[in-house]
Structure 1
Amino acid sequence: MTALRAPLSSMPRFLLLLLFVLSALRAEEQIEFFATRLDSNLSVVHASGDVLVLYKSYYLSANEAYFDRNSSTLELFGNIVAMQGSEYFAMGDYAKLDIAKKSREFSPFFMLDRHTNVWMSSSRSGAEDKDFTVEDGMVSGCDPNDPFWVLYFSSADFDSESRWMNVYNAYLKIYGIPVFYFPYFGYSLDNRRRSGLLVPSFGVSSTEGFFVEQPVYIAIDPSWDVELRPQLRTERGEGVYGKFRFVDSNVSEGMVQAGYFQEKSSYVDTYDLANSNHYGFDFFYTNTAVLQRWLGLDLPGQSGLYADISWMNDIDYINLSSNDTVNYATSNQVLSRVNLFYNEEDAYYGMNLRYYLDLNKQSNADTPQNLPILRYHRYINTFLDEHVYYTFDLRGNNIFRETGMRAVEGEVDLPVTLQTSALEDYLLLSYSARLNGKYITFGNEPTTVSAIPAGGEYETGLFGRIYHVFNAGTQVTKAFEGFSHTAGLDLAYTKAGVDDATGYYKTQQSLCSGSDAALYPECDFYAVNEIEEALDLKFSQFFVNDVGEQVLYHRLSQRLSFDRNQDQLSELENELDWQVTPEVSLYSDVFYNYDNHRVSKMLNGIRYSDGALNVGAMDLYEDQPDVNGTQRVNYLTFDAAYRYNDHYRYFGRYAYDLEANVKKFSEIGFDYTKRCWKFGMRYVENNRPILTNAQADSLLEKYVYFTIELRPIGGTEVNYKLSDALDGS
């Protein structure tokens, strides 16, 4: 074996999923030839017999090679194989590289990307500098001997600098059957953001007709992008949703989303919808150094701004934002929040805005809003050799609404704690004196007054209180063979001290301290909790195995009341979290009511997971007393997934309201996955809320979803809505 080195001026590099290319060469760098036979004169090098051409990490092998020093042209013949490390693989019968002109030609051409298993074959490929072309080609991610899908095209071109590929006259075949034809499409071969069309979404509904959504992505500037999602539902209406995302600094980013949908009058009449159009917006923003960046302040502490704001005219703004409503939580209560804070070593300063939107109501003009809440917190300070601790909290709350009474409320808290230990630190003892004060004043005019006159319903009020809490606790740990056990016991005795009230807090005390306070609008602003003399007991224990994993956690909580107006025994809580075996886990949280002699609330769940099978069940039961008596909640959820083998996975979910005898949600389906494609089908029933002229209602929707993914080029999901009906009927 002999070797010959020749200096070259340049050589292009490999392309991802496309063409074999060699990396750029500098004039002083060398290319090496290895062959069984080498012939050379002043201008031409001829290599034959097991030819190997090397440059850095690039390898070329062929039966025969010619290199012309004068024209800087390299020609390869027969069984050409090219690799860069173990990443890319290409082969053909003929290759010509003009180093001076930076052009390359291959015919025929085959390339395999070992990382994604995507291969490409064509009759001819060529390149000129940074531009590449492919003629009469095909591409797939499947086994080349029996491909499930192949994408054929008449020609394609690729810009190695922008990493963008254009494909012309492309048609997709699945098992040899033509499925789709694309006159043109383009896509990126890297993860850089760029403008273009995103994957469309399709669906068919017996009530909404044909659904189509074609997202458009706009990315002109690195600091922002826009996504527009126009949609058409042929029997219901049309609309558009949009999302604007931005990064305004290295410590802040945000997003604005808005949408509008116009209903057809026939659909509005059929379902008696409260609104013929649905619109809203969402705004999210976070900044982790807002005071330093916006105001230029040189502050040692941390400042931050967090905003999560949503507004909509009704719940269908959410329901229509996607073709798959199952993936969206359609709660009827929407909370918008804005938090601004500054945090330093000794204190915290905050301003919070809270806006509540009840989508069951036609108008939220009478809904109380917190605009804003001002907070100051002084962190724990100690003195007397760290035996005395104290903190300080100050809060101001502006309770605003368009109609009805408004209020401005202030509150101060000052707990002072004396702490020590006994019995060689096995017992921790503490005493806390807790001071609390409130102030409230009102404005505007009440819309309603309760039937029971109280007198001075909205008079400026003051409230002051001091009460006492005594704590005693211990915790011990003992190690055993294979596990350790920790047990703790805590007792807290609360003693009511002195209360003093004037104005609103005095006149409304008896009315708003009762169990039916929610009936009276005067009690909307009464936020005084009665302090009862009581003893709280808590026992907890947990077991940890020898590798540090928690095996069991158990907690018992009980309150004993010494107040004559309260039940002596409050509800007993028993919480258990137990990893029974490596596959089986159990969770239970149960509340027992002594007066009613029954369980008042419980959350029980069990799960089995062994890698192939994952199945779980959860049940929530609760007695909720209200003005009409006791309302029961009994909600059951079940989920299961089973991976039969590397290809098949089956899954299902189920949610049922046992008390209302209404199915809330169900889903069953399967996935079939192979190297180059994935197919899935699922049947879904979903009970989602809507707003009608009469009241808040719900629709039971039935869907069949089909998912197909051609890896790695992507895929889509198509659904068919079988039916929908009011009230789950």
Structure 2
Amino acid sequence: MLRVGFVILMMASFIFANDAEDKVEIYSTHMNSKDNIIKATGEVTVVYKDYFLSADEAVYDKNTSDLELFGNIRANQANDYKLLGDYAKLNIAKKERVFRPFYMLENSSQVWISADEGCTFDKDFEIYSGVMSGCNPNDPLWKLHFSSSTYNSDDMWLNVFNARIFIYDIPVFYTPYFGYSLDTKRRTGLLVPTFGISEAEGFYYEQPIYIAEQNWWDLELRPQVRTSRGYGAYSTFRFVDSAISKGELTTGYFKEQEGYFQSNKLANDTHYGYNFLYDNSDFINQWFDTKLKGQSGLYVDINHMNDVDYINLSTNDTIENVTSTQVLSKINLFYNNDTDYFGAYFKYYQDLTKVSNKETLQKIPTLQYHRYLDTLLDDHLIYNLDMQSNNIYREVGKHVTQTDINVPITLQATFFDEYLNASYKTFLYAQHSKFSGKEEVKSAEWEDGYYARNHHIFSLSTQLSRAYEDFTHVVGFGSSYKIAGGETKTGFYKDYQDFCSDPNNKDTTQCEFYNISDVEEELQLDFSQYIYDTTGKQILYHRLSQKVTYENVQNRLGELENELDYQITSNIKLYNNFLYNYDENKFSKLYNVLSYNTSSFNISLSHLYKDTFLQQTSTYSPYTSYLTSSASYTYNKHYSYHVRYNYDIERSIKKSAEIGFLYQKKCWNFGLKYLENNRPILTDNGSTSIYDRYIYLTIALKPMMSPDSGPLYEHKLPE
């Protein structure tokens, strides 16, 4: 019997081995042949290239090269997908295959497709009248019905026509076409749309379009419409131009409807802007074909917009936007080696509360040279050099070029077997100012000049540590005495030093270029302590700092600073930082954060209070009092909840609030949250804000809408 089976297998393999590449092997318990028709029954297995098929019965016609399979058909190709059905027809010569009914399971994505019929032509599939899902086939929570579908096993791209999405048996969405990738390869197509409804802005719809025709770049277009407000589009172009550099360009434009523009009294009926990012980690050697051993770098972050609504409209969730009143553009270049650092920095500020920024001061450019620490006298003498030149410029009014030179020299030593550290530092400092431009304010006149001085610091410190059975305690004490040395000044510095040294005059026009801080004779006392557990984890950090000044006999004590970071238990943590002003008998700053964290529950409460002790006016408050809070709870692997609340106590304004939950299962996510946000806008009367309220509904059908399905933007170098 063993010999007979061996002969049958050999004959089957031999019969279909006309072409080595198209060899088909059929194994079965019983096999017979008549008139070029071969019939195999009983545990039939067909092997063709990387295909493995099994069935109850097989019939092969040598004349037409048709192979038909009947009953309990299963197919597997390279462990990628499985096909099941009752009938299959394969033509080896034409590389055609037909399955009725058709069932396919793609292993990597766990997406299954069931249809009346499936036809394959080499790597291409055509599927008719079917349903697909990523859920359990027995009772899928969601499923997508379609009239026809095409699929290519090489690029793993699935096209679906006349698609109807059902949640259980309830139809919720229809689209005449739907395309979906079963892998994470970058490709051109439509991304997941976003839509919602707002009482003020109407129906919102955004349809991202992703273009990735080459490995080294991609383009994302995000057209949007807000039916009661207007329409616009944002785009992001990303590229990798070399192994050490990459960048992206984001642009946007939005056009307001006349009714919305007039009713909200906006400053502009169109909002536009751009952002350009670029990073190169060795631009000197790359661009100038040099072989410098040091490190060079270039970082570009250029931003421009006509008002703050350019940021507000870039997404449907304004909570995610950072809407600062000032936008910074910068270009940083540097070259660095073991001993020297050279840098050039360009900074441009755009004040979003102003219609024009002609009077805004810019730093274009800042040039820097830094000589790293060097030592003499067996490391007892330490010195370094830092030079900076700032061109402070504006289109209208006076501007200045200020050059600073700072040379700190330190003499240090240890005593009593390193229990005591002692040092003496002298700081040599000079600044030169050269003015240009037209003076707009007659009361403020500036003459070129320089300022030079030195001051001294004497320091003593010690640090002690002791290990106990359950923890280690480290204590540090330090003191430093600072005293001014000689000084000399001319021009601008001689004219305004006394006037600008008064804190009440720092915001005046005369002092806008004066940045010299007086050196006061003072004593600085510091205490710090750490507690670590047996694993080395920090349990407590505590620092106290006190200044004693000798310039003012009546107010010698400076502000007392206290900082505490205490891990009370494994779950509860407290952070405190305060500054206490003895002159006012008040706290100038008080910041507290209390948090509780477990594997399922997290809560954080923080409060910031500040007092500048300046005079309160109708437009200025010296006080800041701000409350932030957040909490999240994970009930189990399916349910999670979160809440957040931020409140400006001083202004009695709710800044933002959020509450929501997320339900997660293997094949889908469902989220619901309510948001409130106070967002800034620019009107024809100046800067103000609008209070927005949102309800967000999130449905993710996995794996088609799964955020963790793989990297969307993964670039390679241009070939």
State the partner residue of 2:567: 579
Kindly provide the amino acid, as one letter, of the partner of residue 636 in structure 2: N
State the secondary structure of the residue aligned to 1:190.
coil
State the partner residue of 1:709: 700
Q: Does residue 106 of the first structure (1) align with residue 99 of the second (2)?
A: yes
How far is 1:43 from its partner?
7.0
**1:461-480 equivalence runs, <5 A:** 461-480=449-468
TM-score of the two chains, using structure 2 as the length reference: 0.91
Q: Deviations over 1:393-415 (max 9, x none)?
A: 11111000011110011111111
Kindly provide the amino acid, as one letter, of the partner of residue 648 in structure 2: D
Task: Write the distance in 2 (CA, Å) between the matches of 1:191 and 1:65.
Answer: 37
Q: Does residue 247 of the first structure (1) align with residue 240 of the second (2)?
A: yes
State the secondary structure of the residue aligned to 1:714.
coil
Kindly provide the amino acid, as one letter, of the partner of residue 301 in structure 1: G
Alpha-carbon distance change, 31 to 582 in structure 1, aligned in 2, over 3 angstroms: farther
CA contact (8 A) 1:575 1:588 kept: yes
State the partner residue of 1:278: 271
CA contact (8 A) 1:10 1:102 kept: no
Q: Aligned residues: percent identity?
A: 47
Q: Does residue 532 of the first structure (1) align with residue 512 of the second (2)?
A: no
Task: Write the distance in 1 (CA, Å) between the matches of 2:372 and 2:171.
Answer: 70
Q: Does residue 690 of the first structure (1) align with residue 681 of the second (2)?
A: yes
CA contact (8 A) 2:23 2:49 kept: no
How far is 1:74 from its partner?
4.7
Task: Write the distance in 2 (CA, Å) between the matches of 1:93 and 1:572.
Answer: 84
2:195 paired residue among 202, 205, 218: 202
How far is 1:84 from its partner?
6.0
State the secondary structure of the residue aligned to 2:566.
strand
Task: Write the distance in 2 (CA, Å) between the matches of 1:57 and 1:148.
Answer: 34
Alpha-carbon distance change, 463 to 75 in structure 1, aligned in 2, over 3 angstroms: same
State the partner residue of 2:629: 638
CA contact (8 A) 1:491 1:537 kept: yes
CA contact (8 A) 1:708 1:715 kept: no
How far is 1:587 from its partner?
1.3
Kindly provide the amino acid, as one letter, of the partner of residue 577 in structure 1: D
Kindly provide the amino acid, as one letter, of the partner of residue 231 in structure 1: Q
How far is 1:36 from its partner?
4.5
Gaps of 5+ in 1: 12-24, 717-729
State the partner residue of 1:236: 229
Kindly provide the amino acid, as one letter, of the partner of residue 103 in structure 1: E
Alpha-carbon distance change, 37 to 107 in structure 1, aligned in 2, over 3 angstroms: same
Kindly provide the amino acid, as one letter, of the partner of residue 438 in structure 1: Q
CA RMSD of aligned residues (A): 2.7
Task: Write the distance in 1 (CA, Å) between the matches of 2:629 and 2:387.
Answer: 45
How far is 1:152 from its partner?
0.8
Task: Write the distance in 1 (CA, Å) between the matches of 2:25 and 2:478.
Answer: 79
**1:407-446 equivalence runs, <5 A:** 407-446=400-439
State the partner residue of 2:166: 173
How far is 1:58 from its partner?
6.3
State the partner residue of 1:521: 509
2:668 paired residue among 671, 677, 681: 677
State the secondary structure of the residue aligned to 2:512.
helix
Kindly provide the amino acid, as one letter, of the partner of residue 526 in structure 1: Y
Q: Does residue 699 of the first structure (1) align with residue 690 of the second (2)?
A: yes
Kindly provide the amino acid, as one letter, of the partner of residue 534 in structure 2: D
Q: Deviations over 1:360-392 (max 9, x none)?
A: 122211111000000001111112111111111
Task: Write the distance in 1 (CA, Å) between the matches of 2:605 and 2:33.
Answer: 78
State the partner residue of 2:355: 362
Q: Does residue 339 of the first structure (1) align with residue 332 of the second (2)?
A: yes
State the partner residue of 1:543: 531
Alpha-carbon distance change, 66 to 259 in structure 1, aligned in 2, over 3 angstroms: same
2:298 paired residue among 278, 298, 305: 305
State the partner residue of 2:541: 553
Alpha-carbon distance change, 85 to 579 in structure 1, aligned in 2, over 3 angstroms: farther
Task: Write the distance in 1 (CA, Å) between the matches of 2:556 and 2:16.
Answer: 90
How far is 1:628 from its partner?
3.3
State the secondary structure of the residue aligned to 2:613.
strand
How far is 1:56 from its partner?
9.0
State the secondary structure of the residue aligned to 1:508.
helix
How many pairs were matched up? Answer: 698
State the partner residue of 1:500: 488
State the partner residue of 1:62: 55
State the partner residue of 2:647: 656
State the partner residue of 2:583: 595
Q: Does residue 667 of the first structure (1) align with residue 655 of the second (2)?
A: no
How far is 1:619 from its partner?
0.8
Task: Write the distance in 1 (CA, Å) between the matches of 2:535 and 2:33.
Answer: 69
Alpha-carbon distance change, 406 to 10 in structure 1, aligned in 2, over 3 angstroms: farther
Task: Write the distance in 2 (CA, Å) between the matches of 1:80 and 1:162.
Answer: 26
How far is 1:534 from its partner?
1.4
Gaps of 5+ in 2: 708-719
How far is 1:44 from its partner?
7.1
Task: Write the distance in 2 (CA, Å) between the matches of 1:552 and 1:678.
Answer: 40
Alpha-carbon distance change, 80 to 354 in structure 1, aligned in 2, over 3 angstroms: same
Task: Write the distance in 1 (CA, Å) between the matches of 2:536 and 2:62.
Answer: 69
Stretch of structure 1 that moved more, 696-705 or 117-126:
117-126
State the partner residue of 1:219: 212
Q: Does residue 619 of the first structure (1) align with residue 607 of the second (2)?
A: yes
State the secondary structure of the residue aligned to 1:267.
helix
Task: Write the distance in 1 (CA, Å) between the matches of 2:211 and 2:254.
Answer: 22
Task: Write the distance in 1 (CA, Å) between the matches of 2:524 and 2:441.
Answer: 40
CA contact (8 A) 1:449 1:522 kept: no
How far is 1:66 from its partner?
4.8
CA contact (8 A) 2:22 2:49 kept: no
Kindly provide the amino acid, as one letter, of the partner of residue 309 in structure 2: D
Alpha-carbon distance change, 435 to 29 in structure 1, aligned in 2, over 3 angstroms: farther
CA contact (8 A) 2:125 2:151 kept: yes
How far is 1:654 from its partner?
0.3
State the partner residue of 1:135: 128
Stretch of structure 1 that moved more, 502-511 or 593-602:
593-602
CA contact (8 A) 2:13 2:25 kept: no
Alpha-carbon distance change, 26 to 597 in structure 1, aligned in 2, over 3 angstroms: farther
Q: Deviations over 1:297-322 (max 9, x none)?
A: 22111111101111111111111111
How far is 1:460 from its partner?
0.5
State the secondary structure of the residue aligned to 1:666.
strand
Q: Does residue 491 of the first structure (1) align with residue 479 of the second (2)?
A: yes
CA contact (8 A) 1:10 1:99 kept: no
Task: Write the distance in 1 (CA, Å) between the matches of 2:542 and 2:194.
Answer: 48
Alpha-carbon distance change, 96 to 395 in structure 1, aligned in 2, over 3 angstroms: same
Alpha-carbon distance change, 254 to 36 in structure 1, aligned in 2, over 3 angstroms: same
State the secondary structure of the residue aligned to 1:516.
helix
State the secondary structure of the residue aligned to 1:505.
helix
CA contact (8 A) 2:595 2:604 kept: yes
Kindly provide the amino acid, as one letter, of the partner of residue 608 in structure 1: Y
Stretch of structure 1 that moved more, 54-63 or 362-371:
54-63
CA contact (8 A) 1:8 1:26 kept: no
How far is 1:464 from its partner?
0.7
How far is 1:287 from its partner?
0.7
CA contact (8 A) 2:343 2:367 kept: yes
Task: Write the distance in 2 (CA, Å) between the matches of 1:312 and 1:713.
Answer: 35
Task: Write the distance in 2 (CA, Å) between the matches of 1:513 and 1:338.
Answer: 33
State the partner residue of 1:317: 310
TM-score of the two chains, using structure 1 as the length reference: 0.90
State the partner residue of 1:191: 184
How far is 1:656 from its partner?
0.3
State the secondary structure of the residue aligned to 1:511.
helix
Task: Write the distance in 2 (CA, Å) between the matches of 1:79 and 1:274.
Answer: 71
State the partner residue of 1:401: 394
State the secondary structure of the residue aligned to 2:506.
helix
CA contact (8 A) 2:451 2:487 kept: yes
Task: Write the distance in 1 (CA, Å) between the matches of 2:518 and 2:60.
Answer: 95
Q: Does residue 353 of the first structure (1) align with residue 346 of the second (2)?
A: yes
